Structure 1
């Protein structure tokens, strides 16, 4: 049952008309090539309508005794009160489409009841999120992989190793001295000099290997292989089924 119209049918009708009008204005500026003068008039009208929405929203919040959960339950109304018909926001078409949907949600509430949109979102949010998160995840993964393939990360690692050469030498020397098997070598003459020479040689060879252009090819190949594996896992939903009991495990536990 509706919760608002029983007390304020006139307010409901006015808010419904304003919601439909705001949707029409946003659709007009979204789909049409609006002149600058007309766009400013539409923005002024949209701002005035959003102001009325804000006053009515605050009134309902006051009626709800300023319940902190009230804005959370009606978050789409809060976002729908943002006037986005300004000509400067013409390039943000996605933002305008989202605002248009929020205005439609407000109109839906006026027709079918206050919690119509809330119930719809609660019922279909999971299927909607499931439907859109996979392509978004794959698209982001592909972009990240492209960035990683074009970078020279082995050389960055080499630069970091060279910059902290002294620290790495001290760490390796300390670990060798504390090792129970290699610790007996500390009794040999010139032990510290030998260890330092070995560490320096190892670091020098490591730097040469990381600076080799073939390491960039190796790194890019490793990124592509991991990307393909992660992409396949996302497409098959393996990351969502991990941890769920399988039929075999259920049979074993039942036995």
Structure 2
């Protein structure tokens, strides 16, 4: 149900024009209903059916049907009068840059006033323009109506289907160009990725630090114990180190001392690496890696395998985007 916001209507500085809009909207609805009914009545079968079932109605309306243009011109006269009044107001208020812009901008008002055949149905555009103007000034809210939700749903569904097909087609073309060795690949590498090395380094550094903090810091003690156990097991399997226990007097002591020392060293080194990754000090390390993978235009990449890997990566990213594009959001709104 369409509701009128009376507060906005009263507080508006264009109350007179809005009242005219409502009057014109009512006349347009009556006129369109009259046009539709007369178009239906134009069929001989309808006239004969009315003559048999409702002869009084048929006899009363038939003269109106024969003079339909005369009655329609009466509506057109009102519509044209309102059009010229608004045009005069637009000139006086300097609404447009030139005085003759108004009829071109509101062309549908003039074309709909032509009392010829199907052109009459263009008056529905005038209904839409009035509804839109009232909605724009928050006098009415057309988004709260069932017909708007119905039409908007299928409009959004149509636009999503259309745009998805276009985007998928464009992305497939990009993939084909990259596979053929198009300059697009070089532009992506040199013009897009290379100038943003610092941004990529910062982002990867931050992500690595967050991952290390979430995965390592809470499990530091357990990881240290696991590393010491693994190193101790590996040292006991080493034949050269196991021979030390055969040395007289100090053999077992030396073996145990080396095992403990190596275990502590390995565990401390790995822990230090993880702690560095979890802190801001990992930036230089990440930056070196990014610089190795993303070379500048003055340093051409001589490794074909690296180019192929990067091409495959870009194609997989585009495939992922295409997969997301194919998701039909409008279907999720269906009951």
Larger-Rg structure: 2
Same fold (TM over 0.5): no
Normalised to the residue count of structure 1, the TM-score between the two structures is 0.39
Normalised to the residue count of structure 2, the TM-score between the two structures is 0.32
